[in-house]
Every structure is written in C-alpha cells, then in structure tokens.
Amino acid sequence: MSEWWTYRPSDFLMFAPRTYWRLFELHNETWWPAQAIFFALTALLVVGVWRRHGPTLRVGVFAAAVAWAFVAWAFLWQRYAPINWAASGFAWGFAAQALGLLALSSRSAVHATPSRGRRAGGLALLLWALLAHPALGLLFGRPWSQAEAIGLAPDPTAIATLGLLLCVSGRPRVWQGLLVAGAMVWLAVSAATLATMGSAQAAVPAAAALLAGAALWRARAAQ
Amino acid sequence: MGSYAQATAGSLITRRIPSSGEALPVVGLGSWITFNVGNDARARDACAEVVRAFFEAGGRLIDSSPMYGSSQPTIGHALAKLQQPATLFSAEKVWVGDAARGAAQMEASRGFWGVPRFDLMQVHNLLAWEAHLPRLFEMKARGRLRYVGISTSEGRRHAELERIMRTQPIDFVQLSYNLLDREAEQRLLPLAQERGIAVLVNRPFREGALLDQLARHPLPGWAKDIGCEHWAQVALKFAVSHPGVTCAIPATSQVAHLRQNMAAARGPLPDAALRARMARDVAAL
C-alpha cells in the first residue's frame, strides 16, 4: 500500500454506523432467547466468583469458550464479515481464543485467585458486561433491540472473559496471560473501530482493558 | 414511471465520453459505504428504492468495487428488482494485487450485478495496474468490456496517474475533485481533456464532511443563479461544471438526497468566473 502515511483510520471504515448497530438488532432477533440463557449462566458465574467456588469457575471458563466460538461463527463470520473484510480475521482470532479457553477449562488447576484486587476488578468487569453493557445503547440513543448481549456480542463477551480471567488462577500462567492478551486485543480493535465511527462508546472497551491491566499490575506489584 | 423518466431525461445535462461519443448524465451514483448493508433485507430494499429513484430521474452510471464490502450484491438486488434497466451504465473495478486472480474477481463482480458484461472496468487505486491494464484492453478488444479506466481517490498517486494517462489508451480516469480538493485542476483535468479521457469524480462531498461543514451556513446568493436549493447541488454543480469532468458519482442511501443530487444535473451550470467565486467563498467559510 503506497503512500500509506496519507491513509486515515476513517479510510478503512467501510460501513455506516447505522449499518453496524443494525447488525446487533438482526443478531438479537435471530438468536433470541440465547441472550437469556447466557445472562443466566453469567449470573451463576458471578455467584460462583463471589463464593470462590472452583468448579463453578471451571464451568465458567468452559462457557466462555462456547461464547467466543459462538460469537466467532454467528456474529463475526456470518454477520460482520459481509460488511467488513477484516471481520473474517477477527473470527479466526475469536476461534483461537475459544480453543485456548477450552484448553484452560480442561485443566483441574483452575481455582479462585487469592488476590482481592484481581477479584474486585474481575467482578466489576463481569457485572458491567452482564448488566450495564446491554443498556449502553440506550445512553447513545439506540433502541433496546440493538443491545449488545453477553455471549452474543463480542464486546461484552470479551469484557466478561477478562473479568473471569482476573478472578481465576490457572496453570500455566503464560497460557492465562495469552488469553487475557487476546481479550485485550479485541477490546483495542473495538475501541479503534468505535472511535473511527465517532462513537463516544469507544471509551468503554478501552476502559475495560485498562481496568483489567491495572488490576493485574497491582496484584503483581503486591506479590 | 416511463413518462417521468423521459421528461426528466430530456432536460438532464450530459457529457460525451471522448473515446466513443456516448452521452452520460453528469451525475451518477456511487456505492462506497452507503450500499454496504450486508444481509439486512430491509436496508437492501431501501437501497433498491434509491436505485429506482436514480433511474426515474434519468441516471445511468452506477459505480462500485469489490473493495466496497457487500455493495455489489446490494446493487444486484436493486437491478433485479428493477428488471435490469436498459439505460444502466455499469462501472466496476478490479482490486487485487495478483493480476492472475483479476479475471475471477471480475467474473464474481459480474455475478453479483447480474449483468452480461460491464460497461467500464477500472483498476482500483492503481493496484497492480501494469498487469491489469493489458488484460483489460484485451477484454475490450474481445467485446467483453466497453471501456477501460483507472481510479484513485483523495489526491493519492496523482503523479503516477498522470504517467498512466499520458502513456496508456484508457477511456476513463476516476479521481477526487470538489470545492475544497481542487488539485486535479492543475494537471489531471487538463490532461484528460487533451488526451480525450473521460473523468469520473468521486468524493464530491468529501464523503459528507464537506456538506456537514457547509450546513451551518446559508446558501450564498449566487446559488439561486444556478438553480441550487441545497449545498449538495452547489458542490455537484461545481464539480461537473469543469469542462474536463464527465460525471460525478455521489453516494447516498436516501431517496430524498438522491433526488437532490440528480437535480444538480439540470439547469444552468456556473461559468469559469462563478466557479472561481464559488471556490473562494466556500474556502472562506
């Protein structure tokens, strides 16, 4: 790509904001009542995190793997890729993340983190993804039908997964670190996309990634 | 519908394609972003209504590219609904670095549109033009295309574009030109006139940013002199009034805006003195 320095991020935005948000409306219509199922599972996970219940955490990691795989196929590949040729690459990334979470969930060494700071940060992210993020569209003048639901939409799924990974300690640590990085990469991509669309909502995925990073850094510093 | 099209088509301003003498209305229809609506049936139907209004207003040239996401299937959907309007002038692009894959890409594009062949095929953003152009000329010689062209946007690679215009027997060049982005006036538009190359103008509104900027201001008095009721018509009349320009291709997803745009292809066009004043006044806003 010659004269690459003359390109702005907006030059790569190939769809209108209304088309982007309409994706979620069509997605929600197609997959209802999957939103309710993922909501209930995540609510149970929050209880499990609060009680530091190891088996619940393992099941939560497995459920996260299912969610990432579903988002990869049903949203990124089927719905987003027709309007954004980069989305097929995102779908592969989500599929890889799903495999990594699946592998982590298969290991018995998944238990609650002893770090109070990480648990607090993780719970905050889980509760945000579960309760606040779906309602975010209303703040920005979008209808409820375009809500981004956990397990169906990439942003709340990535935020919830970050929250869950903060709350657990798995082995090997580098593996868990890669999964955290994967979720953060998506949140950075989403923030960049939303910012290029001129949406103030870009601050949300960016803030989620920063919160997770701060919680991890503080926990590491405290060791 | 037929009588409406005839009444408006008769009063549409047209320009002749230098290499053939074929007349084209000076306002066409682009499809970047606006027609990239994916699998949304409601949005596709809305785009089809824009295309219907386009043909009803006497429009002919529709431009797209494989780069534009799902815009090609959206156009195909519209054309199928309208039963393939006979006046369509289809302008497409080949956009692949590996020229060996160009034929397959163009064939896929043709499938999306549902047309027997394209009128115009352009090398998109000069990508691998050295390999693509000979193949396109060959396709034209065999009757599989009618015209060959090359495109760029936002003022990129104008020096290389100029070299191509001087050395290659292209029929069309597509470039960006509007009230604020006037670099093409210096060399490329005069060169196009000299070499007998038709010019398609993209980004006549800077993808809407120009209109957003101008919307805060009332129309100047001279706008009425050239029959303009909206800034979009001012911007289009400026672009198409350059004698080197053949057709501007604004994109829109709204029927009302489409009709405003097509109205710019009727009535008086500014002369050189008014063009200079328009550019001066807009730059000062």
* CA triple A132-A135-A139, angle to 5 deg: 110
- Examine the pLDDT at A26 and tell me if it is beyond 90: yes
Measured distance CA(B241)–CA(B259) in Å, rounded: 19
Q: Which residues of B touch A84 (CB under 8 A)?
A: 69
Q: What is the dihedral of CA A145, A148, A154, A158, to 10 degrees?
A: -170
- Per residue in B159-191, pLDDT (tens digit) is 999 999 999 999 999 999 999 999 999 999 999
User: Where does the pLDDT of residue B2 fall: very low under 50, low under 70, confident under 90, or very high at 90 and above?
Assistant: very low
Between helices B41-56 and B71-81, what is the axis angle to 10°? 60
Across B65-93, average pLDDT: 97
- Examine the pLDDT at B10 and tell me if it is beyond 80: no
Query: What pLDDT was estimated at residue A169?
Result: 85
Rounded to 5 degrees, what are φ and ψ at A75? Answer: -100, -60
| Chain B residue nearest residue A18, CA to CA | B37
Best B45, B156, B158, B181 residue to mutate vs chain A (most A CBs within 10 Å): B156
Q: Is B114 left (phi over 0), alpha (psi -120 to 50) or beta?
A: left
Pick from A11, A13, A79: CB nearest B38: A79
Rounded to 5 degrees, what are φ and ψ at B35? Answer: -100, 5
Query: What pLDDT was estimated at residue B269?
Result: 96
Mean pLDDT, chain A, integer = 92
Identity of residue B136: L
* CA triple A208-A151-A85, angle to 5 deg: 80
Query: What pLDDT was estimated at residue A108?
Result: 66
Query: What pLDDT was estimated at residue B1?
Result: 30
User: Do B37 and A14 count as a contact with CB atoms less than 8 A apart?
Assistant: no
Across A50-63, average pLDDT: 92
- Examine the pLDDT at A5 and tell me if it is beyond 90: no
Across A186-200, average pLDDT: 96
Query: What pLDDT was estimated at residue B174?
Result: 98
Q: Which residues of B touch A2 (CB under 8 A)?
A: 156-157
Measured distance CA(A183)–CA(A194) in Å, rounded: 16
> Residue A126: CA atoms inside 13 Å, Cβ hemisphere, count?
30
Pick from B68, B156, B253: CB nearest A14: B68
Pick from B38, B67, B154: CB nearest A82: B38
User: Do A16 and B33 count as a contact with CB atoms less than 8 A apart?
Assistant: yes
- Per residue in A98-113, pLDDT (tens digit) is 999 999 998 766 888 8
Q: Which residues of B touch A13 (CB under 8 A)?
A: 33
The contact set of A with B (CB < 8 A) is 2-3, 6, 11, 13-16, 19, 22-23, 26, 79, 82-85
- Examine the pLDDT at B246 and tell me if it is beyond 90: yes
Q: Which residues of A touch B36 (CB under 8 A)?
A: 14-16, 19, 83
- Examine the pLDDT at B5 and tell me if it is beyond 50: no
Q: What is the DSSP letter of B27?
A: B
> Strands, DSSP E only, in A91-202?
111-112, 168-169
Pick from A6, A14, A23: CB nearest B69: A14
User: Where does the pLDDT of residue A3 fall: very low under 50, low under 70, confident under 90, or very high at 90 and above?
Assistant: low
| Chain A residue nearest residue B65, CA to CA | A14
Q: Which residues of A93-111 are buried (b: 16+ CB within 10 A; e: fewer)?
A: bbbebbebbbebbeeeebb
The contact set of B with A (CB < 8 A) is 32-34, 36-40, 43, 67-70, 154-157, 253
Q: Which tokens sit at B69?
A: 């996401």
Measured distance CA(B102)–CA(B139) in Å, rounded: 12
Query: What pLDDT was estimated at residue B36?
Result: 98
User: Do A16 and B253 count as a contact with CB atoms less than 8 A apart?
Assistant: yes
User: Do B69 and A22 count as a contact with CB atoms less than 8 A apart?
Assistant: no
> Strands, DSSP E only, in chain B?
14-16, 23-25, 61-63, 89-94, 118-123, 145-151, 172-176, 198-202, 247-248
First-to-last alpha carbon distance for chain A, in angstroms, is 47
In sequence order, what are the residues at sequence separation of 6 or more whose Cβ sits closer than 8 angstroms to the Cβ of residue B44? B37, B74, B77, B78
- Per residue in A6-23, pLDDT (tens digit) is 677 777 899 999 999 999
Residue B148 pairs with which residues in a beta bridge?
B121
Pick from B33, B69, B156: CB nearest A85: B69
Q: How distant is the Cα of B221 from the closest Cα of chain A, in angstroms?
A: 33
pTM, 2 dp: 0.93
Q: Which residue in the block uniquely carries the two structure tokens 């003195």?
A: B273
| Chain A residue nearest residue B206, CA to CA | A11
User: Do A22 and B157 count as a contact with CB atoms less than 8 A apart?
Assistant: no
Q: Which tokens sit at A166?
A: 């903060």
In the A/B pair of chains, how many CB contacts fall below 8 A?
Answer: 48
User: Do B33 and A14 count as a contact with CB atoms less than 8 A apart?
Assistant: yes
Q: How distant is the Cα of B153 from the closest Cα of chain A, in angstroms?
A: 10
Q: How distant is the Cα of B110 from the closest Cα of chain A, in angstroms?
A: 18
- Per residue in A147-175, pLDDT (tens digit) is 999 999 999 999 999 999 999 987 677 88
Across A24-47, average pLDDT: 96
Pick from A2, A19, A85: CB nearest B37: A19
